[in-house]
Amino acid sequence: MKDHRLWLKRRELLIYIAIFLYSVALFLKRVNLPINQNLLNKTMMLGTLIALANIIFDRKMNPKQWILTAVIGLLLLVDSLPTGNHELFYLFIIIWSCRNLEKRALMKYIFGIVLIMTLLTGYLTCLGIVKNDVFILNETRVRYGLGYNVWSILPFQFLALCFMYLYLTQKRVYIWKIGAMIVMAFAIGEVTDTSSSSMLTALGLLCLYATQFVHIKKWNKLKWLMWVPEILAGFSIMATFLYMRGNSFFVRLNAVLHYRFLYQAIGFNDFGIGLFANPEYETSTDPETYFGIDNNYINLLIAWGIVALIVILFVYSYLIKYCIRMENIKLLIIIMIFVFTAIMWSRLLVLIEAEYLVCFSEAFKDKRLRDKKEYLFQ
pLDDT in tens, 345-365: 888 988 888 888 998 888 777
How high is the pLDDT of residue 132? 83
Residues making up the chain, counted from first to last: 378
How high is the pLDDT of residue 10? 65
How high is the pLDDT of residue 366? 66
Q: Is 128 exposed, middle or buried (0-12, 13-18, 19+ CB in 10 A)?
A: exposed
Look up residue 173 and give its DSSP letter. P
Decide if 83 contacts 56 (C-beta within 8 A): no
Q: What share of the chain is helix, strand, coil (3-state, %, to 5)?
A: 70, 5, 30
Map residue 60 onto helix, strand or coil: coil
Summarised one tens digit per residue, pLDDT across range 185-244 is: 999 988 888 888 899 999 999 999 999 888 888 888 899 999 999 999 999 999 999 999
Per-residue buried b or exposed e for 213-236, using 16+ beta carbons within 10 Å of the residue's own CB: eeeeeeeeebeebbebbbebbeeb
Q: Is 342 exposed, middle or buried (0-12, 13-18, 19+ CB in 10 A)?
A: buried
Question: Over its length of 378 residues, how does the chain's per-residue pLDDT go in tens digits?
Answer: 444 444 556 678 888 999 999 999 999 999 998 889 899 999 999 999 999 887 676 666 777 888 888 899 999 999 988 888 888 999 999 998 888 888 899 999 999 999 999 999 999 999 988 888 887 766 667 788 888 988 888 999 999 999 999 999 878 888 999 999 999 999 998 888 888 889 999 999 999 999 988 888 888 889 999 999 999 999 999 999 999 998 889 899 888 887 888 889 999 998 889 999 998 887 766 666 667 888 999 999 999 999 999 999 999 999 999 999 988 999 999 999 999 999 988 889 888 888 889 988 887 776 665 554 443 333
Note the pTM of the prediction, 2 decimals: 0.89
